[in-house]
Chain A
Amino acid sequence: MGLLSVLIFFPLVGALAALLMRGATAAKMVALATALVTFCISLVVYMKFDSNLAGFDMKEQVQWVVLPGLHLSYFVGIDGMSMMLVLLTTFLMVITLIGTWNSVTKNVPAFMALLLLLETGMLGVFLSLDLFLFYVFWEVVLIPMYFIIGLWGGKRRIYSAVKFFIFTMSGSLLMLVAIIWLGVEAGRQLGEFTTDITKLYQVSRSLPIDVQHYLFLAFALSFAIKVPLFPLHTWLPDAHVEAPTAGSVILAGVLLKMGTYGLIRFNLGLFPQASFDYSGLMTTLAVIGIIYGALVAMVQTDIKKLIAYSSVTHMGFIVLGIFSMTREGLQGAVIQMVNHGLSTGMLFMMFGMMYDRRHTREISDYGGLARVVPLFTVFFGIAVFSSVGLPGLNGFIGEYLTMMGAYQSSVLNSWSYAIFSATGVILAAVYLLWMYQRFVFGRAKGTSAAAVDGHDHSSHASTHSPSDHALNDLSWREIVAVVPLVIFMVWIGIRPMHFLATSQSAMYKLSDDLLQQKSGIVFPEQQSQPSKPMQQLPGGLRR
């Protein structure tokens, strides 16, 4: 068993162990220990990983299903992009467990087991090099999240869990069809049914162009739901609002990245031509999502919903970067995935800490936290500004690179995508700072005010929670959970190359291959022409 397999399945072992524990604390300890060990394994992988390699490293391939004409292999491997996402996953899992230590009280062993099962699924998704295996892990992820929302969620948890499940499932069924199609096509061309993507990269490109388009759309739909891309995003706010804090953090932090990861790995990788053809559609939806998500986030009165809609905005930047297909855009997309995981994960986690104290999600129930819980205010503020995209923190790097990618992209061939997406920069400040102001500034609110308000959250709050005046600031456990996140936010903001270097070879190669193919097939005359950068003008200003 290779290192990557150990990495993938170690959390599963931990999940079984956690399930066997009798007490809540024991289960939590087992889960935390498992997550820590998994994180350490991923660090070992990182140290062994050769980031100069543009292809896959540490490949492990075992025949899994061997039937006449049907070869399904267990095939895993890692490249720069999956390395980043693996580290994000294992890191966030540890942080989440520490940060939400006391949030779940009922049926703790099962909850911990589901979280660890989720981790196995996510790692499997990022490391599979066989489409069939990928599909299995993709579905494995779905189930624990469904139960986490449905069993430990809020009032409308059943509706949200089912909505989450149906949305994702309907997308992935089409993907399954596409996978089988590709496998059959491989059988015709190579003589055996296989879903090994290193082989499919050749197969898919020789398909008739309309078939490529259909297959592209089947994959894209599945991933776009996960991202989520406008207008397929409405499951996200519901799922976030109802999910317990740990669920929200992992959902926003890692699960959404499965969609953007898939877009890069499979849509760009398997169907370059279709990617060029649909790049306009995908980026238009992404840009609409950036603006739409921000405007809708602005009017939310529920903090978790607001953060959920902000995810639509941030993920839109990633899709914009992906379909610019430039070096800047793809590198920006990868780092933006990490950034969104850190900043939105931290927002959800810190709000969860406050929710555990006050039991209300309405912004209007809060106020004046700055004086009462100064440490909380500072850390929450850092997460807010990271999310706003303040230069010097991580969020800026991703947004900036994806935008610059969109500017330079010969695939998009227009400045308008980038210019429209830049308005998201203004709107992010509007909705996040307004929320921050109402949340932490002003004067502290007491229970009396909350009780008068009269909505169901508040009446609940008046019995269970202390007023803002008497809140406790962050505990040592909570500080331990947030400080590493802040360290990475600053680190990525100031020394971004320490992180971008990991995915550089892989993303540069992908971009160069794509652009070479584009110039080779679509505009063969462009290759001989020396590029004249002076004449690249925005769409509206073309000479």
Chain B
Amino acid sequence: MIQLIPVIVFAPLAGFLINAFFGSRLGKLSGWIATFAVFISFVISAGVFVEMLQKPSDDRAIHYVLANWLDVGKVHVGISFLIDQLSIIFMLIITGVGALIHLYSIGYMKSDRGFGRFFTYMNLFIVMMLQLVMADNFLWTFVGWEGVGLCSYLLIGFWYEEKKNTDAAKKAFIVNRIGDFGFLVAMGAMLAAYGSLNYLDLLGSGSNVIDGTKHLGVVAGMHGGDWTIGFITLMLFLGCTGKSAQIPLYVWLPDAMAGPTPVSALIHAATMVTSGIFLVARSNMFFALAPVTMGVVAAVGATTAVFAAIIGIFQNDIKKVLAYSTISQLGYMFLALGVGAFTAGVFHVMTHAFFKACLFLGSGAVIEAMHHEQDMQKMGGLKKYLPFTFWTFMIATLAISGIPPFAGFFSKDEILWNAFSRGSVLLWLMGAIAAMMTAFYMFRAVFLTFFGKERFDAEHHKPHEAGWHMTLPLIVLAALSIVGGFLNIPHVLGGNATLEHWLAPVLEQGEQTAQVSFSEASAGLEIGLMVASVAIAICGILLAMRLYKKKTTLVRDEAVLGTPYRIAVHNFYVDEAYDKLIVQPLYTFSDRFLYKIVDVKIIDGFVNGLAQITDGTSKIIRRIQTGVVQNYAVMIVVGLLAVVSYLMIF
């Protein structure tokens, strides 16, 4: 299987090229080619995974050198892959969930004129996302990082005739570029300070990677609190806030819902937006040595989790609810990373990929059935029309709400427990509040969409389930949302934390190094908090039930809440503030000052002024050239006199 590792990348690359050149002539076949390509990647990834399972835990990492890429001065970067316990999990998610969503898209996009183009972009996305997680160095990860940004841009603006969509695409790319600026700066600092960009050189490895030995990176023997490390990690985290939609750069993700729904499921929920978590987990030794950055990560994560959840409560567009929910859940993951619980963060990436992809695909099925209506106020009572969609959506909602034994319960509870034991009571409280709001807005969405009376013209329009392409992925993802959490049942519940042991060679050292106040807490307290968090979630569900179930007329949120409602429903006016404080002033400054004054008036004014002075002067001097011989004679005499008198005086 190890020899087949390049195929993991080349299969979707081939799919991309075939669809790019012949997509328009292939018709429906292009969707199948794309799906099959991703499926091949999944099968080989699974094969590699199985092979890794059979080896001892510190002998599982594979370093596969494909080609040399850039080799100038101190920059030695290859196209080579580091496949270890961390990257294989991401690879399985990307190709597994990716294949399901490709299959779903065949149904969802069937009547779109851009069918071939859609799958071209989707396959390119898979290629780039795989580069991001498989690379053995920061720079090639960055190639994937920007590559997925490109695909995100192309897919958000897929229906390019609407200005709203291309605006959203452009915004996504530019906001991500602000983050990428941080990534670039961090890479420069690493190279200048430590002379390498390779993960193994910098971070070392807990596995026998090269020549059968463990590799010590430059981090070995370093102490926390180093300024360079602090700077590097803060800049890397800036990159993460862009790609993973955290405060202050989260603003692109809600708008990104302009893309087709499968795109939202794959890119803006399951895979691309978790790149930031991957990056932090990958460079966990760097972050563990930077306590200030860790504090920032935890604080940003917790704040984003609460903030986005508040906005999510007030959204009426079903996809917007899920978008803010994604931002909030990503905040959770960063909360975990920030307190040094890297495993918990990665665990939540996995379970979130299952239930959020399921939710998005479910919402896609609803939107399709409702003829592209996304406003939940115009839905209701869909349970009887869309039974499959309802049940899968319900399972995923229970999972995200943290109800045992669904997947989200285990991962969310681990994050909350770590926030408490490794962080502080405040972080736990923020996480718990966010959990309650999550349960509330998700069940609000369920009740508004599937329960109550139909708030659309049910006489003439009978919604129905789409074909098996769309139902099968829903069922698989719902099943995973049920069982996914069993991978890491904590010891206190009698499990053996399988995932934690699996990831230990990559993450354990960082988790131990992270300088956090670890309070030795009893099993009783852990169980107690667990019960509390479930109780909180149930409170949220009951509240949503009370407010939204069986309502024939909608609750007038605005009437009840007034101004706070208006502020929240408008995303706290963050977009408007960015526009007024940054975008507009920068544009006006560039236009009115830099261009129209500095360029046109000052520099060109100077140049043209010089020309005019020359012109003017010569017009004056020209008058001397009268052409009258007598005048010249006078001048000669005057000149002579002047020269002679000069010589006599000096």
Contact = CB atoms under 8 A, between A and B. Distances in A.
Interface of A: 163, 166-167, 231, 233-234, 292, 295-296, 298-300, 326-328, 331-332, 368, 370-371, 385, 390-392, 396-397, 400-401, 403-408, 415, 418-419, 422-423, 425-426, 429-430, 433-434, 437, 440-443, 494-497, 500, 504, 533-534, 536-538, 541
Given A326-B73, A418-B188, A426 B177 contact: yes
Instruction: Classify the secondary structure of B's interface with A.
Output: helix
Instruction: Classify the secondary structure of A's interface with B.
Output: helix
Contacts of A440: 160
A208 B157 CA distance: 61
A182 B324 CA distance: 68
Given A401-B75, A408-B191, A425-B184, A385 B150 contact: yes
A390 B70 contact: no
B181 A163 contact: no
Contacts of A433: 153, 170, 173-174
Contacts of B535: none
Interface in B537-587: 586-587
Contacts of A166: 611
B72 A401 contact: yes
A533 B160 contact: no
A328 B146 contact: no
When A and B form their complex, which 6 residue pairs have the shortest distance between CB atoms, in order from nearest?
A: A327-B73, A295-B590, A299-B591, A328-B73, A407-B188, A391-B143
Contacts of B173: 429, 433
Nearest to A430: B174
B612 to A, nearest CB: 13
Interface stretch (B52-60, B498-506, B599-607): B599-607
A441 B168 CA distance: 13
A385 B154 CA distance: 12
A496 B68 CA distance: 9
Interface stretch (B38-46, B192-200, B410-418, B476-484): B192-200
A370 B159 CA distance: 11
B166 A441 contact: yes
Contacts of A418: 185, 188
A331 B72 contact: yes
Interface in B231-271: 231
Interface string B67-81: 111111111000000
B611 A391 contact: no
Given A407-B189, A497-B68, 20 more contacts: A296-B594, A296-B595, A326-B73, A403-B184, A404-B75, A407-B192, A408-B74, A426-B178, A429-B174, A433-B173, A433-B174, A437-B167, A437-B169, A442-B160, A497-B71, A500-B70, A533-B192, A538-B189, A538-B231, A541-B231
B191 A442 contact: no
A433 to B, nearest CB: 5
B408 interface: no
Given A328-B75, A408-B191, A426-B174, A390 B150 contact: yes
Nearest to B222: A534
Contacts of B166: 437, 441-442
13 contacts: A167-B607, A233-B603, A298-B587, A370-B160, A391-B143, A403-B188, A404-B188, A408-B73, A426-B177, A426-B178, A442-B163, A496-B69, A497-B68
Most chain A CB atoms below 10 A, which of B74, B147, B178, B227: B74
Contacts of B75: 328, 401, 404
Contacts of B598: 231, 292
Contact of B192 (A327, A332, A415, A497): A415
A300 B590 CA distance: 10
B375 to A, nearest CB: 25
B112 interface: no
B191 A407 contact: yes
B142 interface: yes
